[in-house]
Every structure is written in C-alpha cells, then in structure tokens.
Structure 1
Amino acid sequence: MARNTLMAAIGVLAAGALLTASLGWYRVFSYVAAIFILAVVAGASTEHRGSFLEPYTGLIAGLAGMFLAGLTGIWLLWNPDVTSYTYVLGVPMPTLVYFGLLWLAPAFAAIYYSLIFDRIGGEPIVDDIIDEARDRQRDAELPLAPRKIDRTTGTDGLDGTADVEGDDD
C-alpha cells in the first residue's frame, strides 16, 4: 500500500470516527477508532523499504489482536442496564478486560519492543539504513540540493566573476 493510499485511508477512518460518534453509534465508533489508531501506528513504517510493516509487523499485529479482543470483550460483557457484574480481582469483568487488553497489554508490548530494540534497530542496522539513505540521496535529484554544473567555468581573475563565454576579454 502506497503512502498516499495509507494517508487517505487514515483520513477516511478519521471522518468515519467523527460520523459514528456524532450519530451515537458508540460500538461502531470504538472499532473505527481502534482501526484508526492501528493505521496511524502502521503509517510510521511506510518510509521503510522492503516489507511494508517491518520491523513493526509483530507489534501492529499484536495491537490489532489486543484491540479487537478488548473491544469485543467490553461490548459482550458490558451493558448499561446491568447493575451487578461478576468481579475478578475485585474489579468488574468489563473493566478488567478494558484495563488489561486496551491499556496494560499495549504498555507491555511497548516495553517488550524497547527491550528487543537492539535486535531490530541496533547499531549495525542503523548504520546500514543511514548508508542506504546517503546512497539514494546521491542518486536522487532533491529539490533543495545544490545542482552540479556540468560545464567547466573559469574566472578572469579580476573581479571573481565567471567567464561564461570563454573569451579572455
């Protein structure tokens, strides 16, 4: 998926979230918002060449699974008409699912990725990325980069201006 397509999808998801929230479709809104969050996280890896989501594939897949499981668990367990809930660890089940799958598990996923970052983003990998970027910049014509002049120019030695015509006047 190209970067512009992903950004357009993020825009559509944002508009969908606003629409569902304004219509009061809160269950649909929660799923659209979760997909929006995942799309924004996935958008952070669009500049990487090679596999689309590398090295974040596991993180995004894990977040998607946690969000979907968490939202589904909340919407299956929670009902505004219910006044008594089943408690686990002193907390109502919908609250435990909400806290565990939408807050705690993503926080542990972030900690996990920070601990294994040396394997997915260590010094040699960062050096390779920087070298590849420099090679591509040398080969590409960038809009603000100074342009090379292919012709040879000389100076007449008097005022430092280039002798464009090549005559010695």
Structure 2
Amino acid sequence: MARNTLMIGIGGLSVALLVAAAIGTYRLFSYLAALLILATVASASIERADRELDPAPYTGLLGWLAATFLVGLTGIWLLWDPNVTEYSYVLGLPLSTFVYFLFIWLLPILGAVYYSMIFERIGGETIVDDIIERAREAQRREELPLAPQQVERTTKTEATDD
C-alpha cells in the first residue's frame, strides 16, 4: 500500500509541476520540484508493496536533503530580484548564486558522500546478507515470469547389460 500511495503522490506532484509551470508560478514550481526529488529518493527505500518505508538509513539522508533544499530555495527567492543591478558578493559570486551553489549542490553532494563513507556502519555485510536472503526467500515463494522452471525428472539409476 505504501508504494502505491507514494507513486500516486509522485504523479500528483508531476501534475502540480506542469500546472505551476503553465501558469508561471516559478517559486512554487521550485518547491514542488524539490518535493518531487525527495519523493523519488524516498521511493527507492520501498522494497515491496507490503512494506512501509524502511526508516534506516534513508531517514537521515531525506531529512538532510529536505533541509538543504528548503534553506537553499528560500534563500534564493529571498535574495534574488530581477530588478536589482548591484549585488553583494561572497567568494566572487552574487549572494543568491552562492546560496544556490551551497545549499542546492554542494551540501547535498557532501551528504551523499557522508552516507557512502558511513555505509559500512549502517549497511554492513550482515545487513546486506539479510536483505539478500529476504529477497531470495521472496523469490522462492513467488513464481516469476522469467525464472527458470524446476522440472523434476525421473531417472533410472540401474544400468542393464543386454
């Protein structure tokens, strides 16, 4: 049920993005796009239709992405104005561009690098082996369309000399 609900939500966000783009509300569009990215990342943590979102290890990453997107987008929209011709600069970039680069690109990438470095603690061999075993068990219980069929054959073990 969680997968279907999430997929319906992603579809609804996609339609909302199309509507926001069509009517020209680009600030709303940017926030909806950030939600779409978060929902897509969250959908990767659902394994089967009967499972809820797996709370670990994705909760921290999703929270980090949500926080950086929210701060970044809010910073951009508060600092940027098309009528302004003189900007405040940080490290050679206009402040709104710096906020964009820092919160929309750099910090999310650093979050992904951090998760890849600590993956051994949150997704070590025992956890991966458990996931693989559960996947194999699920495959054994269901008949998959491209799986090889197990055919039992009766074979003669006695040889006759005629």
TM-score (norm 1): 0.80
**Gapped regions of structure 2 (runs ≥ 5):** 156-162
Q: Between 64-73 and 42-51, report the one with greater CA deviation.
A: 42-51
CA-CA distance at 1:51 after TM superposition: 5.1
Give the aligned length.
Answer: 151
Corresponding residue for residue 158 of structure 1: none
Corresponding residue for residue 112 of structure 2: 110
CA distance in 1, matches of 2:22, 2:32: 13
CA distance in 2, matches of 1:71, 1:131: 42
CA-CA distance at 1:113 after TM superposition: 0.9
CA-CA distance at 1:55 after TM superposition: 1.5
- The one-letter amino acid paired with 1:44 is A
- The one-letter amino acid paired with 1:65 is A
Once the two structures are superposed, residues 86-105 of structure 1 have per-residue CA deviations (whole angstroms, 9 ceiling, x without a partner) of: 11222111011000000000
Corresponding residue for residue 130 of structure 2: 128
CA-CA distance at 1:36 after TM superposition: 0.4
**Gapped regions of structure 1 (runs ≥ 5):** 156-169
Structure 2 counterparts to residues 1-169 of structure 1, below 5 A: 2-47=2-47, 49=51, 52-138=54-140, 140-144=141-145, 146=149
Retained in 1: the 8 A contact 2:80–2:96? yes
Q: Which protein has the larger Cα radius of gyration, Structure 1 or Structure 2?
A: 1
CA-CA distance at 1:53 after TM superposition: 3.8
Retained in 2: the 8 A contact 1:42–1:53? no
**Percent identity over paired residues:** 58
Pairwise CA RMSD of aligned residues? 2.2
TM-score (norm 2): 0.83
Q: Between 44-53 and 72-81, report the one with greater CA deviation.
A: 44-53
CA-CA distance at 1:83 after TM superposition: 0.9
Residue 104 of structure 1 aligns to a residue in which SS? helix
